[in-house]
Structure 1
Amino acid sequence: MKLPITIHETQLGSAKFKVIRPARPLVHAVLIDRDRHLDSYLDQDAAQRIGGLWKLAASSPRSLVHLPMRGNRGPSGELPEGGTRQLDLVLLHHSLQFAPSRWKEVRGRLGPGRPQTVTLPGPELADEAVMDHEARHHQENRDLFHQHLHAETLFMTGSAKVFRDTARHFFDVARNGPGYVPVHPSYPRFCTELHSDDGTLGSAREIHIEYCDQWDS
């Protein structure tokens, strides 16, 4: 899988930061704060590229992977007027120990960046990864996501392993969403979840991920 990105570098005082963004805007992608959980609506292209960025976060422990989408229009009929907060997303390795309170200043200093194309393993390899689901629920498990919210941005902090293991959710949406045939009226479109029962969320809120092909212009 080839993924076009832009790489941005900036400095605050003595600290240097590397930020990775998708080269093209994720036009049909939104992340919505529902208070108790989060909803993400994606079309096929956005789901495929976010899956790639999720895997890139696993192999880029010294970088912040930024997915700008808080200003996007939502899917038709899904976003009520007022009272809905849309968020950007930042993926980062826990070893980076980045303070979200610095993000607004870092974000404001980013220029156009330099283009680059990275080659990632295909999604089929991620789907076949052997995951020890029982071990995830052990008290010693450190491969967990943690979330912070700052400057209209959700920070997903985790290990390389938890990013690798969960990228499949987005590839599932890209692969199965367009041809999905509803089997129940309560589930008209293909969806999946980063769920607390999976043993990957730690103290983080659940994220519902849903395919949408009808978007407001």
Structure 2
Amino acid sequence: MRLRTTVHRARTGRDEYRVLTVEPGEGRAVLVDGEWWTDLFADRAGARDLAAAWALAARSPRSLIHLPLRSGPAPGCADEHAVLLDLVLLHHGLGFPPSRWKEVRARLSKGGTPHTADLPESDFPAEDEIDYPSHHYAGWRDGLHFTGAARTLFLTGTAQAFRWTGTLVRSLDTRAARLAPTHSCVTLDHAPATPTSRPPKGTSGRLHIAYTPPW
């Protein structure tokens, strides 16, 4: 998998953050804020780029992976009044507060260094190798946590979380090859820090990622 990015270093106060902004590829992907869940629509090439972004996130514990998806256009299946969002993937250990994102994003237009990441598909385990039973153990930490800020959805997790969920994202491409033009999708859910915790107010706890024929 290959992904073109621009590397930025954005400073806010005494803190500096490394941001890898994914550059537009051949495909399309758009993130739509919904009433009950968030929809991420992608064609086949867009799905491949999404999988590569998940792999890059797993390998980049000190960086924010920024996918500027809200420039659209949205596919016809989306509501005409839909609110479009950007997407950021990041590690728990980075400790980045989403409340700072608006300020950080405003600094990304200043320069940046082009970088192409080559990512092996072997980073993703086979679907039957994902340890689903461990999700129910006390202290389980390998899920994705959802947060929203500044018209952006943040998915925060461990390297393992991005590898496991990346396997599902990558499957969209292979399923689309077999099933197109029928519906093909995967769903990712917010993993609570405690059994009773929920996503922050105003943030959906479900991300529906769907293959959509080119639009």
Task: Give the distance between the partners of 2:136 and 2:26, measured in 1 at CA.
Answer: 34
Q: What is the Cα deviation at residue 11 of structure 1? A: 1.1
Task: Give the distance between the partners of 2:9 and 2:53, measured in 1 at CA.
Answer: 18
Contact 1:27 1:72 in 2 (8 A): no
The two structures have a TM-score, normalised by structure 2, of 0.87
What letter corresponds to residue 96 of structure 2 in structure 1? F
Match of 1:102 in 2: 100
The answer to whether structure 1 residue 49 and structure 2 residue 43 are counterparts is: no
Residue-by-residue CA offset, 1:119-165 (whole Å, 9 max, x unaligned): 2121x551427322111111220112111111000111111110111
The answer to whether structure 1 residue 88 and structure 2 residue 86 are counterparts is: yes
Contact 1:26 1:68 in 2 (8 A): no
Assess, with a 3 A threshold, how the Cα gap between structure 1 residues 37 and 12 changes in structure 2: closer, same or farther: same
Residue-by-residue CA offset, 1:138-194 (whole Å, 9 max, x unaligned): 122011211111100011111111011110122111122144157xxxxx3211211
Match of 1:28 in 2: 28
Task: Give the distance between the partners of 2:148 and 2:66, measured in 1 at CA.
Answer: 14
Q: Which runs of 4+ in 1 moved over 4 A?
A: none
Question: Aligned match of 1:192 in 186, 189, 193?
Answer: 186
Contact 2:65 2:90 in 1 (8 A): yes
Residue-by-residue CA offset, 1:107-129 (whole Å, 9 max, x unaligned): 0011242111222121x551427
Alignment of 1:1-217 (within 5 A): 1-24=1-24, 28-76=28-76, 78-82=77-81, 84-110=82-108, 111-122=110-121, 126-128=124-126, 130-180=129-179, 188-195=182-189, 201-202=191-192, 203-204=198-199, 205-215=205-215
Q: What is the Cα deviation at residue 88 of structure 1? A: 0.5
Assess, with a 3 A threshold, how the Cα gap between structure 1 residues 10 and 128 changes in structure 2: closer, same or farther: same
Question: Number of residue pairs matched?
Answer: 203
Q: Supply the RMSD in Å over aligned alpha carbons.
A: 1.9
Task: Give the distance between the partners of 1:192 and 1:13, measured in 2 at CA.
Answer: 39
What letter corresponds to residue 94 of structure 2 in structure 1? L
Match of 2:195 in 1: none
Question: Structure 1, unaligned stretches of length 5 or more?
Answer: 183-187
Q: What is the Cα deviation at residue 20 of structure 1? A: 0.5
Assess, with a 3 A threshold, how the Cα gap between structure 1 residues 190 and 74 changes in structure 2: closer, same or farther: same
Contact 1:28 1:74 in 2 (8 A): no
Identical columns (%): 37
Secondary structure of residue in 1 paired with 2:124: helix
What letter corresponds to residue 108 of structure 1 in structure 2? A
Contact 2:146 2:155 in 1 (8 A): yes
Secondary structure of residue in 1 paired with 2:32: strand
Match of 1:185 in 2: none
